[in-house]
Structure 1
C-alpha cells in the first residue's frame, strides 16, 4: 500500500502474528516453517476498516450480539473498527480480543458520547473527559447539542490528556470553531453542509432543513467551500463520509424494499423492523422523494470528492449497525458509492488500511503488508485494483497471524443466520 503496484509471486513469512519478511516465491525455499499455506494465486491486501461503528452493547452480560458483529466484520475482510457510541461493555470485549480469547478485528473505542443530554456544564464535561481517558477509551465522540463553553472545556481537557475527539458538529459551536479547537474527525460531512448555508437560521428549523439539512442543499454557497477546505487541511482534520448511511436511511428507495435484502438475514426481525420504523416517518411526511433526495446525494458526492481531491484524508466508514447497514456488508456498499463518486480503487483501499493506521498514529504497525507490521491481511480471488467486487468474498482472512479460511468464515456467519432465522 505504499503505491498501486502489484508484486507478483510473493511469499509472506509470519511469526508470532508479525510479518517477518516478504520475498519472491523463488526464494521461499529458505523458509523453514510449518504450516505452509498455498495462496493459490490469490491477491493479498491489508483488509478494510469500519471507522464509524456502533458496536452492540452487552445486555445483562450477554455478549452474543457483540460476538456476532465481530464475525460479520471478519467474514467481510473488515479488520479494524472505530467504535463511535461507547459503552462500558465494549472495554472487556476489546480486552478479550486483544488477549486472543475471542475472534475479532482490531478495536478502537470511544466512551459514552458527549451531547446536549449527557453534558450539563463545562465542569461536568471536563470531568467526563478525564473519566473516559482513565477508563481506557481510545477517543471521544461528540454528538449535537453542546454549548460553546461546554465544547471548549471538552477540547481543552482532551488536548491536555492527549485523547483525540471528533464527531458531529453542534449547531451552537459550528464547523469553524470545531476545526480550530482540535476536532480530529468530522463525521457524516453534515457540518460542512451547515457551514455553507447563507441563512444559518434555517438550519435551526428542522421542518425547513430536513434531516441532516437535506432540504437546503440547493441554497448552499459554494464560494465558502475553499476556505473551509483550507481550514480542514490546516488543522489536520479527517473526513468520515458514511455515504451509505445517507443512501439507505435518507435515500428515496422505500424502507420496505430493504426488509429482504440478502444481508438482513444476519439481523433479527426486530432489528430490521426498527430500522424500517426509523425511515418510514420521513417517507410519510413526503421528505424522501427523489426530487428532494437526488440533489442532496449529488451534493454530498461533490463535497466528498472536492475534499478528497484537495488532500483531506478520508476514513472508510459506513455507520454500522445503523439503519439498513449490516456490519461488514455495509462497507461494501460504502465502497461502491465511493467508486461511483469518482474515487480510484487504490485510494478506496487506502481509506480502509493505511489511513486508519495514520489516524491513530500507528502508521506501519498495521494496515500495510511489509516486514515488521502485524499480520493483518486478506486474500481475494481477483485484483481489487481492477475489480472491487472481489472484496465481497474473501478467500481467506489473516488477523494477527491467525488464519480463517472461507469455510470457517461461512460456518460462523451461517450460525448467525440460524440465530436470527425467521420462524
Structure 2
C-alpha cells in the first residue's frame, strides 16, 4: 500500500498530486465535522473523485486496498473558512494576474468559499476556469455589477438589470446606496420572480424595514440598523451630521427599538454579513500610515496600499476618526452583532476583501479575532465560515461539513480550533475538491505573489 507522510513531501507542486481516479486516505487526524462540536479523534478521511467517500476510525483505514495513505501526523481537520463579502479583482485587458493572486491568497489562508459582492464580467470566466480545473482557487459565488444610484435610472431599467444578470449566470445581486423606493421594489419583485438572492447596503430612501420585508437575503455591514434607531431621521440624511455609516450619531440611537428590529430580521429570515474588520481598519482610529508596512501588505501592490491610505486619510484630516468618535461606534457594532447572533439571526463570515487594509485571506483571521472579542464562541465562529455559507445557498450537506458524500474541501491545522483560533492562521494542508496543497506549496505561491509586488 502506498504511503505518503504529510510533513515530508519530497516534491511540492501545485497541487501535490491530482486525486481523481485514485483513492487517497488521510490518516491519523482528528476531525471536526461541523455537524456538532464533537471531535472524531484518531480517524482517517477517504477521498475519491473530489469527494469524501468515508470517515473511518484508524483501525479500519488499513483495509482500503490500493489507496495512497497520507499520514496527517495528528493534525486537526475542519471544513475550511469562507469570505462571503469579497471584491474579486477585475481582469484588466485580459490580464488575470491579480485575480489569480487573490485566489491563492484565499487558499493559503484556508479560505475555500468566496462570495463576490462587486461583480464584473471578467469574474464569470474566472469561476469557470476554477471549476474546470484550469487554475486553482476556492469555490466562487458571484454577484453581478451592483445596483446603485449611479447604475439604476428607473424601475424598468432596474428590472431589466435583474433579468440580464440572471441570464448571464450570476449567483446573487448586490445593492448599493442611492436607490429610490420604486427602483428597489422593482429589483425586489423581479429578483424574487427569477429566484436569485439579493442583498447589500440599505439605501437611505428605502430603509431597513422595507429592505427586510422586500426580501433582502443578506444585510451587508449590518447596514441600516443604526439609521433605524435614530429618532431624528433628518440627521441621518445629512452626511456632515451622520458621518460615515452614521458613526457620529450612534450615541443618539434609541435602543428600545432594537428588539423590534431583531424580531423583524428573524421573521424575514435575513442573514447578517458583519464585516467587523472593515470598520476596525477603514473607519478605526488607528492612523492609515500605520498599516502601510504590516506583514500582509507585501502581497498587495504599492499602488493599491497607497490607494487605501488615500481612502482613509480624508476622514482623518476632517477629524472624524478620533478615538472619541470611533470607540463608541465600534462598541455599538459589537453589541449589535452579538444581539443579532444570540437572537438566532444567522451570521456569515465576511471581511470585505480586498478592501481598505483587508488583504484577501489574511483579513478573515482579523475578522475571526474581532468576532471572538465581541463574545462569539469558537464553534459558532467556525459555523459562520462553513455550515452557514452552505445553507445560505441551499447547499447544506454538499460542503461546509465533513461527512460521507460531501465535497472534499477541508483544511489541516496543528491545533484544535475549538480551543485555539490562532491555529487557523497556519494551515498544514489545504484540500480543495480533493486536490491537496501542502504548506510548502502554499508558501511558494505566497513568495511568488510577494515578488510580483516587491517594493
1:127 equivalenced with 2:173 (yes/no): no
Please identify runs of 4+ aligned residues in structure 1 that moved more than 6 A.
Answer: none
1:371 equivalenced with 2:420 (yes/no): no
1:55 equivalenced with 2:88 (yes/no): yes
Candidates 271, 278, 290, aligned match of 2:323: 290
SS at match of 1:87: coil
174-183 or 30-39, which deviates more: 30-39
Aligned to 1:150: 183
Whether the 8 Å contact between 1:365 and 1:374 is mirrored in structure 2 is yes
- Once the two structures are TM-superposed, the CA of residue 310 in structure 1 deviates from its matched residue by 0.1
Candidates 188, 194, 198, aligned match of 2:221: 188
Whether the 8 Å contact between 1:125 and 1:150 is mirrored in structure 2 is yes
Q: Name the CA distance, whole Å, in 1 between partners of 2:67 and 2:136.
A: 22
1:161 equivalenced with 2:194 (yes/no): yes
- Once the two structures are TM-superposed, the CA of residue 32 in structure 1 deviates from its matched residue by 1.9
Tell me the number of residue pairs that the alignment of Structure 1 and Structure 2 aligns. 422
SS at match of 1:163: coil
Q: Name the CA distance, whole Å, in 1 between partners of 2:299 and 2:137.
A: 17
- Once the two structures are TM-superposed, the CA of residue 19 in structure 1 deviates from its matched residue by 0.3
Q: Name the CA distance, whole Å, in 1 between partners of 2:371 and 2:167.
A: 37
Which deviations, in whole Å up to 9, do the C-alpha atoms of 1:175-222 show, x marking residues without a partner? 000000100000001311111111111011011000000000000001
Whether the 8 Å contact between 1:198 and 1:219 is mirrored in structure 2 is yes
5 Å-filtered alignment, 1:348-367, equals: 348-367=381-400
Q: Name the CA distance, whole Å, in 2 between partners of 1:35 and 1:269.
A: 44
Aligned to 1:4: 37
1:421 equivalenced with 2:451 (yes/no): no
Q: Name the CA distance, whole Å, in 2 between partners of 1:35 and 1:11.
A: 12
Aligned to 1:82: 115
Q: Name the CA distance, whole Å, in 2 between partners of 1:243 and 1:137.
A: 26
Aligned to 1:409: 442
SS at match of 2:187: helix
Q: Name the CA distance, whole Å, in 1 between partners of 2:228 and 2:111.
A: 33
1:387 equivalenced with 2:425 (yes/no): no
What do you get for the CA RMSD once the two structures are aligned?
0.5
Aligned to 2:151: 118
Q: Which has the higher strand share?
A: 2
SS at match of 2:408: coil
Q: Name the CA distance, whole Å, in 1 between partners of 2:351 and 2:205.
A: 26
Aligned to 2:267: 234
SS at match of 1:299: helix
Aligned to 2:126: 93
Q: Name the CA distance, whole Å, in 1 between partners of 2:225 and 2:131.
A: 37
5 Å-filtered alignment, 1:314-353, equals: 314-353=347-386
- Once the two structures are TM-superposed, the CA of residue 75 in structure 1 deviates from its matched residue by 0.1
TM-score (norm: length of structure 1): 0.99
Q: Name the CA distance, whole Å, in 2 between partners of 1:407 and 1:190.
A: 40
Whether the 8 Å contact between 1:42 and 1:379 is mirrored in structure 2 is yes
- Once the two structures are TM-superposed, the CA of residue 283 in structure 1 deviates from its matched residue by 0.5
Q: Name the CA distance, whole Å, in 2 between partners of 1:73 and 1:331.
A: 9
Candidates 266, 276, 299, aligned match of 1:243: 276
Whether the 8 Å contact between 1:46 and 1:353 is mirrored in structure 2 is yes
Aligned to 1:276: 309
- Once the two structures are TM-superposed, the CA of residue 34 in structure 1 deviates from its matched residue by 3.3
Q: Name the CA distance, whole Å, in 2 between partners of 1:380 and 1:256.
A: 33
Q: Name the CA distance, whole Å, in 2 between partners of 1:170 and 1:406.
A: 44
Q: Name the CA distance, whole Å, in 1 between partners of 2:67 and 2:322.
A: 59
SS at match of 1:80: strand
Whether the 8 Å contact between 1:190 and 1:213 is mirrored in structure 2 is no
Whether the 8 Å contact between 1:114 and 1:141 is mirrored in structure 2 is yes
Q: Name the CA distance, whole Å, in 2 between partners of 1:206 and 1:58.
A: 34
